[in-house]
Structure 1
Amino acid sequence: MRMFLISDNGDTLTGMRLAGVEGVVVRTRDELRAALEKALADKELGILLLMERFGREFPELIDDVKLHHRLPLIVEIPDRHGTGRAPDFITSYVNEAIGLKL
């Protein structure tokens, strides 16, 4: 199984290529949809890396893939400017999941 990156900037793609991960840079909704369709058609693809920005700006596209396809596993990664999540994201997630304040 292989990994593939769908990025919104060339810097992230260049860094991932140095690690042996191929990918594509997309800028628009239509380009993202086409890249997702191509990735879903590739049966050798096990992990699909997406920028967090896509999950925020186009949640219906990303959620549809997550809900209707077993593979590839979608992993949202932050861009070079950092994550859009709150600093205590993990703690609040655990608190919500178990119902206890840690």
Structure 2
Amino acid sequence: MKSNIAVMADEDTVTGFMLGGIKEGYPVKDIETAGEILEDLVKKDFSVIITTEKIGDKFRETIDKLTSERALPMIIEIPDKTGSIERESDPMRELIRRVIGVEMVK
């Protein structure tokens, strides 16, 4: 498996990460293509896939299935330019708990 990072998000977020040095950026123009892009990124064996919370919420079942079946790729959800989404459970907290086995305290 390659040790690459990909960003799949809105155009502004992808541009920001690419300016920061991430080489693989995939702008999502509509939610239908986001699912196809996510499947392609998993098939390309990326180690880390960064996406926004809004996209992550639309593909929650797929992301949960992928992250529970294998360690990589790690799918990390970040806030987009409009800010964080209020949620009952935090996907990042769950990822940390699963990977290191420790519950983070708020």
TM-score bracket for this pair, using the shorter chain length: 0.7 to 0.9
Partner of 2:13: 12
User: Could you state the TM-score of these two structures normalised by the residue count of structure 1?
Assistant: 0.72
- After superposition, the CA RMSD in angstroms is 2.5
Deviation of the 1:69 alpha carbon = 3.1
Say if 1:13 and 1:25, in contact at 8 Å, map to a contact too.
yes
Q: Which runs of structure 2 are paired with 1:26-41 in the superposition (5 Å)?
A: 26=28, 27-29=30-32, 31-41=33-43
Compare 76-85 and 63-72 and name the one that shifted more. Answer: 63-72
Q: Which runs of structure 2 are paired with 1:20-99 in the superposition (5 Å)?
A: 20-21=21-22, 22-26=24-28, 27-29=30-32, 31-43=33-45, 45-85=46-86
Partner of 2:99: none
Say if 1:54 and 1:62, in contact at 8 Å, map to a contact too.
no
Deviations 1:22-72 (A, max 9, x none): 21122123x1221112111223x2111011002222312222222223211
User: Could you state the TM-score of these two structures normalised by the residue count of structure 2?
Assistant: 0.70
Q: How many residues align?
A: 89
For the residues of structure 2 that align with 1:50 and 1:69, how far apart are their CA atoms? Answer: 18
Say if 2:11 and 2:27, in contact at 8 Å, map to a contact too.
yes
Structure index of larger Rg: 1
Q: Which runs of 5+ in 2 are unaligned?
A: 95-102
